[in-house]
Amino acid sequence: MGLQQVSLNLNVRGLGKSATLAINERVAELKASGKEIYSFGLGQSPFPVPNCVVKALQKHAHEKDYLPVQGLPELCEAVADFHRREDGVNIQAENVMIGPGSKELMFLLQLAFYGDILIPAPCWVSYIPQAQIIGRKVTLIETSYENRWTLSPQALEEQCAAENDQDKPRLLILNYPSNPYGDGNSVEELMKIAEIARKYNIIVLSDEIYGQTNHQGKHVSIARFYPEGTIISAGLSKWCGAGGWRLGTFSFPANLKWLLNALVVVASETYTSVSAPIQYASIAAFQESEEITNYLRHSRRILDALGQWIVKQLTQANIRIHPVEGAFYIFPDFENYRAKLANLGISDNVDLCERILEETGVAALPGYAFGRPKNELNIRMAYVNFDGDKALKVSEQISWDQSLDEAFLEQNCPMVTTGIQKLIQWLEAL
């Protein structure tokens, strides 16, 4: 028999690399073959790690000790203070947990928690495979273009009421501003969702990794309305340009300490603790400072201008899309072009992405990768393919009463603006 592939966990078998990685490799191949590619695939912040945070890493490069599993106490304090200050929620340092990316913490949560996982779709690519690896049941809650792809409180209520088990342990994963659609529930909706969660004792994993990228700096956490049942997931990856550093945070309410403790035990048998120099350095990111405030203001201004410009272009081209309020994603829907696309033999979002890539060089991801049915015509585009360092420096030279105009975008984000134009030209030529 030999050492063949006979002994793999069935939950892992056949699971592919994440869609985000796949598109990246595809893009690399096409670029290598000499094709001009407009990459809207991987959602990585275009901005550099702020200088004060890089300097802090240099200062703490010698730190060698294993840190406490739950996290460096000073960092937990900085994270708790950050959430109190920025989100107006009462988080205590003793209830903060640091992980090597919030994705790892979500995996530990799905592993430690024994219950159903409720996810409104479209959703981020990794929630469902994580549940699959662990063997958990996922219930996708339907959303619609008409409802801005957000979770309708009524749909949540109906889902819970329809199940003949009022006490079933449930974990609801909410992500806002959302990957893939850059938007989220209104405050009124969050309040209604909080009420339903309270009624059914649902634990809410509130994935707010894009919270600080809210273009107006006006992110509102559901933890304000459901503090006792909300775990806030956050980290450095998106607003601080440090995706590759791998530092995520979970902030628990005091009465979910039993769940935090279970995660700490599993962490102690897996990653042990997050890299010590990285934890020491990250304190500077969460503490209030003029440099961080300035960095956030300018990065938000750039993302806001670019997002608004893109939505305007696509809307004018009769592509269905909603305004974006945060993150750096759009989730356009080509339903209005269904007949014309059908003439080309395109009837689902996987084929649609493939053909757009082949014929325009625009690389995006199909709605299917985000839990939408294949036969819909939506795709996710990350508008991050520009030099964030340069864009920040130019933005800093432009006064606050001026907005960043089309010329700024064409000059500083040319691959994004050209890619959008190529896509529109392709559609209009159908």
Binders of its own copies in range 133-162 (CB under 8 A): 133
Q: Which is nearer to its own copies, 255 or 375 (CB)?
A: 255
Q: Is 74 in the site for its own copies (CB under 8 A)?
A: no
191 burial type by CB count under 10 A (0-12 exposed, 13-18 middle, 19+ buried): middle
Size of the site for its own copies (CB under 8 A): 81
Say how far apart CA 47 and CA 214 lie, in whole Å. 15
CB of 366 vs its own copies, minimal distance in Å: 18
Residue with smaller CB distance to its own copies, 90 or 336: 90
Among 193, 281, 413, 420, binds its own copies (CB under 8 A): 281
The residue within the footprint of its own copies, chosen from 275, 313, 336, 347 (CB under 8 A), is 275
65 binds its own copies, rule: CB under 8 A: yes
Q: Which is nearer to its own copies, 209 or 310 (CB)?
A: 209
Q: What are phi and psi of 260, to 5 degrees?
A: -55, -45
Q: Which of 41, 184, 277, 371 binds its own copies (CB under 8 A)?
A: 277
In the complex with its own copies, the residue whose CB is nearer, 114 or 288, is 114
Among 4, 316, 397, 399, binds its own copies (CB under 8 A): 4
* Sites for its own copies among residues 101-140 (CB under 8 A): 101, 103-104, 107, 111-115, 126, 129-130, 133
Which of 269/290 has CB closer to its own copies?
Answer: 269
User: What's the Cα-to-Cα distance from 110 to each of 105, 238, 307, 376, rounded to whole Å?
Assistant: 9, 22, 33, 29
Choice from 32, 33, 62, 188 touching its own copies (CB under 8 A): 62
C-alpha span between 399 and 405 (Å, rounded)? 12
- Partners of residue 39 on adjacent β-strands: 363
- Cβ partners under 8 Å of residue 226, min gap 6: 193, 194, 197, 198, 204
Nearest-angstrom CA–CA distance, 277 and 60: 5
Q: And the tokens for 155?
A: 């749909």
Q: Which helix (H) or strand (E) holds 296?
A: helix 290-316
3-state class (DSSP) for residue 217? coil
* Cβ distance to its own copies smaller for residue 152 or 221: 221
- For residues 221 and 204, the answer to whether their CB atoms sit within 8 Å is no
**Under the criterion CB under 8 A, does residue 100 sit at the interface with its own copies?**
yes
Give the x-and-dash track for 7-46 against its own copies (CB under 8 A): xxxx-xx-xxxx--x--------------------x-xx-
State which of residues 23, 37, 67, 357 lies at the interface with its own copies (CB under 8 A): 67
Residues 233-272 that bind its own copies (CB under 8 A): 241-247, 255-256, 258-259, 262, 264-266, 268-272
Closest distance between its own copies and the C-beta of residue 54, in Å?
5
How does DSSP assign 174-201, residue by residue?
EESS-TTTS----HHHHHHHHHHHHHTT
Element (H, E) at 323: none
Q: Considering only 50-58, 87-95, 373-381, 400-408, which stretch makes contact with its own copies by CB under 8 A?
A: 50-58
Give CB contacts under 8 A, 24+ apart, made by 315-318: 317/424, 317/427, 317/428
